[in-house]
Amino acid sequence: MDKEYVGFAALPNQLHRKSVKKGFDFTLMVAGESGLGKSTLINSLFLTNLYEDRQVPEASARLTQTLTIERRGVEIEEGGIKVKLTLVDTPGFGDSVDCSDCWLPVVRFIEEQFEQYLRDESGLNRKNIQDSRVHCCLYFISPFGRGLRPLDVAFLRAVHEKVNIIPVIGKADALMPKETQALKQKIREQLKEEEINIYQFPDCDSDEDEDFKRQDAEMKESIPFAVVGSCEVVRDGTRPVRGRRYSWGTVEVENPHHCDFLNLRRMLVQTHLQDLKEVTHDLLYEGYRARCLQSLARPGARDRASRSKLSRQSATEIPLPMLPLADTEKLIREKDEELRRMQEMLEKMQAQMQQSQAQGEQSDAL
């Protein structure tokens, strides 16, 4: 037997097998004004018809529409691995004449998911925690504006510390190459100026080859991605391509010279899906949790904000923070009651056992 070979090099395979068995779930949010090609892009990205039965609301309906949050789920299977994709849509965003505070329902939704996860994580039964946190938000910017509009800035500032943001320029086939470059530059400057933290694609390792590094740098340079979406296949010359046919030419969706769709798909789906989940869990969720627990802490005891805070002693004395979910406090109290009852039962049983043991010993002795 080889003394130096231990055998844990096979660990990644075990992980792979486990994750294939477990499946993978991902929640993606799309936000932006209507008419920027969001639904078409999602259909193109995941090659599904998620929006098949979609009804575009009439103009008179829009006059009274308020922002709603819609969730759509689909299971995609590829190469044996199942991905449960949940899409969160925000129809009505930016539609009305007065859009003040129209981002508040979205912020509340994201925080509700964090709240739910926090509750599940601190609860008793942690076997099947459903992770419904929003892992990524694709924000669509209009190609017709001169960069970010006031509404875009307001929305991004409200959510940038709560969700991974990937800015995207929708309907990018409306722009000439120079215009695209200028617009991207302007958006990057504005994001820096307004101190909005978008999702940073991690740097590639130093031991990757030069080609890969160059590709990676190019992809990072092309943020925000200028995308075109299409599910129709058109014949351009001899070969069929997915694209949009105009009378002056055909835009190919998967042509890197025409738009950044391939870059977006590669970075979002193929290489960084797991990283997005990790950043959501390690950075954004932990930030939320720390804020939440700190506000739970009594004044003067802020540095003791640790997991023990939610134990039996403190939870019932301190009211819950922030989000107005009416039954949260009740649920925590119920669970604590349960815990206390179980503890009491356990003690009683232990006492009974001790008594019966003692009696047994006595009878034995006698």
Partner 1 sequence: MDPLRRSPSPCSPQASSPESPPCEMLGYVGIEAVLDQLKIKAMKMGFEFNIMVVGQSGLGKSTMVNTLFKSKMWKSTPPGLGGPTPQTLQLHSVTHVIEENGVKLKLTVTDTPGFGDQINNDKCWDPILGYINEKYEQYLQEELLITRQRHIPDSRVHCCVYFVPPTGHCLRPLDIEFLQRLCRTVNVVPVIARADSLTIEEREAFRRRIQHNLKTHSIEVYPQKCFDEDVNDRILNSRIRDRIPFAVVGADREHMVNGRCVLGRKTKWGIIEVENMAHCEFPLLRDLLIRSHLQDLKDITHNVHYENYRVIRLNQSHVLPRGPGWVNLAPAPPCQPSSPGLTKVCRWAQDNSDEDS
238: contact with partner 1 by CB under 8 A? no
- Give residue for tokens 């939440």: 292
- Residue 49 beta carbon to partner 1: minimum distance, rounded to whole angstroms: 18
Task: Tell me the residue type at 94.
Answer: G
CB-based burial label for 115 (10 Å; 0-12, 13-18, 19+): buried
Q: Is 30 in the site for partner 1 (CB under 8 A)?
A: no
- Nearest approach in angstroms of CB 158 to partner 1 is 12
As measured in angstroms, the least distance from the Cβ of 109 to partner 1 is: 20
Q: How far is the CB of 218 from partner 1 (least distance, A)?
A: 17
At position 331, the amino acid (one-letter code) is: L
Measured torsion, CA atoms of residues 77, 83, 84, 90, in degrees rounded to the nearest 10: -100
**Is residue 247 a contact residue for partner 1 (CB under 8 A)?**
yes
Nearer to partner 1, 38 or 289 (CB): 38
Select the residue interacting with partner 1 from 2, 5, 53, 60 (CB under 8 A). 60
124 and 339 in contact (C-beta within 8 Å)? yes
User: How many whole angstroms separate alpha carbon 333 and alpha carbon 316?
Assistant: 6
Binding mask 278-307 for partner 1 (x = CB under 8 A): ------------------------------
- 56 scored as a contact of partner 1 (CB under 8 A): yes
Residue whose token pair is 């910017």: 141
Residue 269 DSSP one-character state: I
- Nearest approach, Cβ of residue 256 and partner 1 (Å): 10
Output the six-digit token pair for 70: 């819609």
Residues in 155-214 at the binding interface with partner 1, rule: CB under 8 A: 171, 173-179, 182-187
Q: Which is nearer to partner 1, 144 or 212 (CB)?
A: 144
- Rounded to an integer, what distance in angstroms lies between the CA atom of residue 59 and that of residue 70? 20
Single-letter residue type at 282: D
The number of beta carbons lying within 10 Å of the beta carbon of residue 271 is 15
Q: How many C-alpha atoms does 281 have within 13 Å on its Cβ side?
A: 12
Locate 296 and state its tokens. Answer: 């739970």
The minimum distance between CB 144 and partner 1, in angstroms, equals 4
Contact set for partner 1, span 71-130 (CB under 8 A): 95-100
59: contact with partner 1 by CB under 8 A:
yes
Nearer to partner 1, 90 or 142 (CB): 142
User: Given the rule CB under 8 A, which residues bind partner 1?
Assistant: 33-36, 56, 58-60, 62-63, 95-100, 142-147, 149-151, 154, 171, 173-179, 182-187, 244-252, 257-258
